[in-house]
A and B are shown apart, each in its own frame.
Chain A
Amino acid sequence: MAKSLFQKVWDAHHVRTLANGQTQLLIGTHLIHEVTSPQAFGMLRDLGLKVAMPHRTFATVDHIVPTDQFAEPFADPLADAMIKELRRNCAEFGITFFDRATGKQGIVHIVGPEQGITQPGTTIACGDSHTSTHGAFGAIAFGIGTTQIRDVLATQTMALGKLKVRRINVNGRLRPGVYSKDVILHIIRVLGVNGGTGFAYEYGGEVFDRFTMEERMTVCNMSIEGGARAGYVNPDETTFAYLKGRPYSPKGAAWDQAVARWRSFASDAGCTYDDVVTIDAATIAPTVTWGINPGQGIAITEQVPDPTKVSGDERSSIEEALAYMKLKPGSPIKGTRIDVAFMGSCTNGRLSDFQEVAKYLKGRRVAAGVKAIAVPGSQGVGILCAELGIDRVFRDAGFEWREAGCSMCLAMNPDKLIGDQLCASSSNRNFKGRQGSPTGRTILMSPLMVAAAAVTGSVADAREVFSVPSA
């Protein structure tokens, strides 16, 4: 019988059925970071347990690291305690830690793929909801809570109920100036922030076939913002080419065997899905959010909604969002003044994100009064950008070029909005207070749109600002 990738990976990692009907699922690869793991190690110690397969857990530090000043001890004693605790836990339990001295540190969802740890046909778990990123490789990757981190550490498994699978086809061609970020913002706008509840999303169609791995990662990354527990793309030649030669990728004869095996995990032609959604790529515009969740998005050419034109719940949620965002009902989003431009995060902090922006940013200047920061997602991305002179382009334009970390995406570090500052952000969440100030405001958009906002000082159509050729 024809099976989806999800079904095949699930079957291969199903250990047994638990008393309540859930599956004890083997987690092949476990990724940890400093924020959600210390309590799990504490629970392990309390129970007198060891790490079952220490060689299958990999650690990095990302959320709390300052990006402007790398020296330890950190100025923030709480942050300093967290990095020390992670170091201690990894040393005690024999876990590989991509600490800063290794030159491989970065955001966990950038480091895994970069090192070749993220591979097709595997299961991955990490105490971070954006773990869905790794699905870009045809892995089934779950964001988990801290008690489940304990479970994975202690048993290399966790208890989980099976998901349904929704196939999302994006066919045709994206218009110039439209990026993978716009694709996922559009999908969430159409299906809703809880449309994915109970589902894994399988992304496919001509647009995904042509996408690079980094573009696929951007889409899979935000699956969780659409309520889906996981999101993935079937592995293909693009996937294998990306993985070849990476530090943890198989070598020699093992490489050929691995590729054959990885290929076999791709969804079979004719497999059945619980739901299928098809989107025409040509209908997707550069998309920006206007509200306080990632589903509240519009095309850059549209107006923010007018709550008086709808009723009930929808009306009150629009009113709440517009009041928080200080936007006028029915007004164009284009032209909204910004204070901060943030370029980075596990969604858009990869080499190609900076590379694409650099093509257009050369010779331009960040508008007066705008604080613009560019934060590579990993030390590796930072090194590549430096080799290619990309950091220079950003610096010359007036961006602050920073060291690797999560930075202003969630502001558990010194990078924060102040007061009700409005940020044009390449990150993934526009929740109230997300960027560190209880009244701070976020507009999500693609990296090139962030650059357009940075140089004009307001939310702008990057296609106009940078004269993006129309074909």
Chain B
Amino acid sequence: MSLAKITSVKGRGVYVPGNDIDTDRIIPARFMKCVTFDGLGEFLFYDVRKQADGTDKAHPLNEARFKGASVLLSGANFGCGSSREHAPQAIQKYGFKAVIAEGFAEIFFGNCTTLGIPCLVARREDIARIADAVNARPDLEIELDLNAREIRFGGQTVKATIRETDRDALIHGRWDAIGELLEGRNAVLETAQKLPYLAA
């Protein structure tokens, strides 16, 4: 399986402010009654985007000027809560290619890497600068550079971090581990043989 080497993501941004945005908010549980991930994009942030009657609430994703954004910006501990992959799947299917936040919950972060969605951590004041720039000029291009660990926008550059194992997997095109895991088949059997509860 050949995967894209994700060294950089370029696109327009949208800022969804708030800390501890949990996976129930990203995709409410009732939309997980499905046996495929198809069509999840339209339910992204559903309960904070929509009224009970299905009409729009005030939310950045509902603003026409942010349509087509592919870089999602948010606050601290983004993606906390449930391990549901439906959350990053909804983010990806909505059209986002990367997320920038002050921090990420761990399972969410790992799920994103596995789908080839880089999650970059930036300082709060830097996210505020990017958000200000995006809100002033929604068509501004943001570039996430995974090699340089930088985010560039409107002539400015800020530092970003990402866990090294995940950065390595993304830039070398091995973010979906299945191929490599399958190659380890013999070593897996050897390890299992040493464990009485698996050797039987």
Decide if A147 touches B111 in the complex (CB within 8 Å). yes
Q: Which A residues, 184 to 224, have Cβ-Cβ distances below 8 Å to chain B? A: 193-194, 197-198, 224
Segment touching B, from A234-242, A274-282, A425-433, A452-460: A425-433
Known contacts A15-B187, A412-B29: does B83 contact A143 (CB below 8 Å)? yes
Decide if A19 touches B172 in the complex (CB within 8 Å). yes
A123's nearest neighbour on chain B, judged by CB, is B195
Measured between beta carbons, the chain B residues less than 8 angstroms from A16 are: 184, 187
Measured between beta carbons, the chain A residues less than 8 angstroms from B48 are: 432
B180's nearest neighbour on chain A, judged by CB, is A18
Measured between beta carbons, the chain A residues less than 8 angstroms from B181 are: 24, 151, 154-155, 157-159
A229's nearest neighbour on chain B, judged by CB, is B106
Other-chain contact of A433, B24, B163, B195 (Cβ < 8 Å): B24
Measured between beta carbons, the chain A residues less than 8 angstroms from B188 are: 15, 24, 26, 52, 155-157
Decide if A436 touches B30 in the complex (CB within 8 Å). yes
Decide if B196 touches A154 in the complex (CB within 8 Å). no
A320's nearest neighbour on chain B, judged by CB, is B18
Measured between beta carbons, the chain A residues less than 8 angstroms from B24 are: 410, 429, 431-434
Measured between beta carbons, the chain A residues less than 8 angstroms from B19 are: 313, 317
Measured between beta carbons, the chain B residues less than 8 angstroms from A64 are: 33
- In which size bucket is the chain B interface? 35 or more
A160's nearest neighbour on chain B, judged by CB, is B110
Q: Which B residues, 161 to 176, have Cβ-Cβ distances below 8 Å to chain A? A: 163-166, 168-169, 172, 174, 176
Measured between beta carbons, the chain A residues less than 8 angstroms from B198 are: 26, 28, 53, 56
Decide if A431 touches B81 in the complex (CB within 8 Å). yes
Decide if A229 touches B165 in the complex (CB within 8 Å). no
CA distance A42 to B34 in the complex (A): 12
Measured between beta carbons, the chain A residues less than 8 angstroms from B168 are: 19-21
Decide if A293 touches B165 in the complex (CB within 8 Å). no
* B103 at the A interface (CB under 8 A): yes
Residues of B within 8 A of A (CB): 18-20, 22, 24-25, 28-30, 32-37, 47-48, 52, 76-77, 80-86, 88, 103, 105-107, 110-111, 114-115, 163-166, 168-169, 172, 174, 176-178, 180-182, 184-185, 187-188, 191-192, 194-198
- Report the minimum CB–CB distance from B125 to chain A (whole Å): 12
Known contacts A193-B20, A432-B25, A433-B24: does B36 contact A22 (CB below 8 Å)? no
Decide if A257 touches B196 in the complex (CB within 8 Å). yes
- Chain A interface, number of residues (Cβ within 8 angstroms): 77
**Most chain B Cβ neighbours within 10 Å, of A12, A119, A159, A229:** A159
* A144 at the B interface (CB under 8 A): yes
Other-chain contact of A78, B18, B33, B163, B194 (Cβ < 8 Å): B33
Known contacts A151-B178, A432-B25, A432-B47: does B81 contact A198 (CB below 8 Å)? no
B167's nearest neighbour on chain A, judged by CB, is A20
Decide if A146 touches B85 in the complex (CB within 8 Å). yes
Supplied contacts A24-B181, A144-B107, 11 more A-B pairs, CB within 8 Å: A16-B184, A19-B168, A20-B169, A21-B164, A26-B188, A148-B114, A161-B163, A320-B18, A429-B22, A436-B29, A438-B47
Other-chain contact of B196, A39, A156, A261, A313 (Cβ < 8 Å): A261
Other-chain contact of A227, B84, B106, B185 (Cβ < 8 Å): B106
CA distance A250 to B165 in the complex (A): 38
* A13 at the B interface (CB under 8 A): yes
- Report the minimum CB–CB distance from B143 to chain A (whole Å): 23
A150's nearest neighbour on chain B, judged by CB, is B178
Encoded as 1 (CB less than 8 Å from any B CB) or 0, chain A from 2 to 41 comes to: 0000000000111110111110101010000001101100
Decide if B83 touches A36 in the complex (CB within 8 Å). yes
Known contacts A28-B198, A129-B82, A227-B77: does B187 contact A412 (CB below 8 Å)? no
CA distance A155 to B185 in the complex (A): 7
Q: List 13 A-B contacts (CB under 8 A).
A: A15-B191, A16-B184, A24-B187, A28-B197, A53-B198, A143-B107, A145-B83, A151-B177, A156-B188, A159-B181, A293-B20, A293-B22, A412-B29
A24's nearest neighbour on chain B, judged by CB, is B184
Decide if A193 touches B77 in the complex (CB within 8 Å). yes
Decide if B176 touches A147 in the complex (CB within 8 Å). yes
A122's nearest neighbour on chain B, judged by CB, is B197
**Most chain B Cβ neighbours within 10 Å, of A81, A127, A151, A433:** A433
CA distance A227 to B176 in the complex (A): 24
Measured between beta carbons, the chain B residues less than 8 angstroms from A293 are: 20, 22, 80
Encoded as 1 (CB less than 8 Å from any B CB) or 0, chain A from 253 to 289 comes to: 0000110010000000000000000000000000000
- Report the minimum CB–CB distance from B26 to chain A (whole Å): 10
Measured between beta carbons, the chain B residues less than 8 angstroms from A15 are: 184, 187-188, 191
- Report the minimum CB–CB distance from B163 to chain A (whole Å): 7
Encoded as 1 (CB less than 8 Å from any B CB) or 0, chain A from 155 to 171 comes to: 11111010000000000
Decide if A18 touches B177 in the complex (CB within 8 Å). yes
CA distance A24 to B188 in the complex (A): 9
Measured between beta carbons, the chain A residues less than 8 angstroms from B165 are: 20-22, 161
CA distance A36 to B114 in the complex (A): 15
Other-chain contact of A155, B114, B169, B184 (Cβ < 8 Å): B184
Closest 8 CB pairs of A and B: A145-B85, A145-B111, A438-B47, A143-B83, A38-B35, A78-B33, A20-B168, A146-B85
Decide if B107 touches A229 in the complex (CB within 8 Å). yes
